[in-house]
Amino acid sequence: MPLSPNEDKAALGALETALAAAEDETDVQAARTAKAEAAADLAEFDETIPFEDGETGGEQEMSKAELEVHNLIQQVCIVNTYVILHTST
């Protein structure tokens, strides 16, 4: 007989509590961290949460990865321009 969602959560909580009691503190902390990371990863793809792009009307701040990609694209554009200029003459 399948458990209801509330019973399933309660059973999972009891299991986690029993496992935490059997482990040392560093393992318990690592498990809590992993659980929080997994919850954050799942929340990233939760379509019920409204999308906020964070724009404030000003210039949008770029992440380190976006900045690196932007710089690489600029470098490729410079190389392409150089190649076009020198192959057309």
Domain residue extents for the chain: 1-49, 62-89
User: Is this model's pTM higher than 0.85 or not?
Assistant: no
Which phi-psi region, left, alpha or beta, contains residue 50 (left: φ > 0; alpha: ψ -120 to 50)?
beta
Mean pLDDT of 80-87: 82
How confident is the model at residue 58, as a pLDDT? 46
DSSP state of 62: P
Dihedral sign for Cα atoms in the order 5, 6, 7, 10: positive
Q: Could you read off the pLDDT of 31-81 as tens digits, one per residue?
A: 888 888 888 888 777 777 676 665 554 456 778 888 888 888 888 888 888
